[in-house]
Amino acid sequence: MPLTHIPNYHMKLSAKIILLAALLNFGCKRNDKPTIAFIAGAATDFWTLAEKGTNQAAKELPGYNVIFKYTTDGATEEQKRVVDDLLVNGVSGIAIAPLDPINQKPFIDATAEQVPVVITDSDIPGSKRLCYLGTSNIQAGKAAGQLIKTALPKGGKVMLFVGKADAQNAKERITGLEEELKDSGITIVGIKTDNIDRVRAKANVNDVLVSNPEVGCFVGLWSYNGPAILNAVKESGKLASVKIVCFDEEQETLQGVQKGEIVGTVVQQPYEFGYQSVKLLAKYISGDKKSAPGEVIIPATIINHDNVEGFIAKMKAIRAK
């Protein structure tokens, strides 16, 4: 009895597999439109704003499919897998935010030999990329340095908070800060890292409030560090004695700037990263091969009490899209 069952079972199984494959094939809407893919870093607000930008570009480019992919922080092998899969599916152009710009050069070069590649966020100089599109993080660091100078006009001590101090954008922001603060009587006493853990980020601030009472200005280098610093300082009742400077545009950060609890924040424009890289790739793929610039720098902007209202309104409009 069991013997007769086995082939029967196999037939059923193979029939199921064929059915499933057929369903899958119907599931994927195949068409002949060229595809442009944007490969971002981890799923944070920063990259969700970039996704809004790619969506807007997709609306304006009905002749193209636009795909947006998140990857895990630090997982360069995941970026490689995503790109390989896209190439197999015949993608026409790729915009990518390299997680490890120094060591991903061979991978980017190999990809650029097959399709045009736009690098965003952190550049890989000397690679075969079509174009770099992003902010100079060194310039962003310098902008934050200016904010710190206005916060501590008589000089003082600064503590930095970041997820990972060895990440490329963190290193560049620190470089920019150091350059700007040189000979200003302001010293950076240390860097506290939290491994992208908001609980640790806040606990770090609490600990520094206890261990280094002389620190006059707290600087959050990554987006979530701003709210973490604000909440910890607020709960300790030290808003009056401690100045806060941060990066990026988390909602709580902007509210803090609005209320005057945060001196200011330096924002990049991730929406533009997404929007402009898709537009640029589409133009290139459509045959306009000569107009591609080597570099598009989207300037970092200082948001302080004077211009925060307008910026919040702009962000609301983008998020509502």
Partner 1 sequence: MKKERGIFIIFVVLCVLVSIGNPNFLGAANLKNTTRLIGIFGIFSIGSGIVIIGRGIDLAVGSVFSLVGVILSMLLVTHHVAWPLAILAVIALSLLIGWFQGTLIAKYKIQAFIVTLCGLLFYRGIARFISNDVTMGFGDGEGFAGVQYLAAGNLLGVPVPFLLMILIAVIAGIFLHRSVYGRYIFAIGRNEEAAFFSGINTNRMVLLTYVISGLLTGISGILLAFYTNAIAPSSHGNFYELYGIAAAVLGGCSLKGGEGSIAGIIIGAAMLQVIQNLVNLLGIPSSLNFAVMGIVILIGVLADKFFMGRQTTTK
Angle at the Cα of 224 from the Cα atoms of 218 and 230, rounded to 5 degrees: 45
36 binds partner 1 (CB under 8 A): no
- Check residue 114 and report its DSSP letter: T
Percentage helix, strand, coil for the chain under 3-state DSSP, each rounded to 5: 50, 20, 35
192 binds partner 1 (CB under 8 A): yes
According to CB under 8 A, which one of 197, 239, 315, 318 is a site residue for partner 1? Answer: 197
Q: Where are the alpha helices (DSSP H) in the chain?
A: 2-27, 45-60, 76-88, 105-112, 137-151, 168-181, 198-211, 225-235, 251-259, 270-285, 308-320
157 binds partner 1 (CB under 8 A): no
Give residues 214-253 in contact with partner 1 (rule: CB under 8 A): 224, 227-228, 231, 235-236, 250-252
CB 58 within 8 A of CB 278: yes
- Tokens 């064929």, residue located: 18
Any bridge partners for residue 303, and if so which? 265
191 binds partner 1 (CB under 8 A): yes
Nearer to partner 1, 144 or 160 (CB): 160
- CB 107, min distance to partner 1, A: 23
Nearer to partner 1, 124 or 208 (CB): 208
- CB 185, min distance to partner 1, A: 23
Residue 243, phi-psi category: left (phi > 0), alpha (psi -120 to 50), beta (remainder): beta
- CB 159, min distance to partner 1, A: 10
Residues near partner 1 (CB under 8 A), total: 40
Binding site for partner 1 (CB under 8 A): 42-45, 48, 70, 72-73, 165, 190-204, 206-211, 224, 227-228, 231, 235-236, 250-252, 255
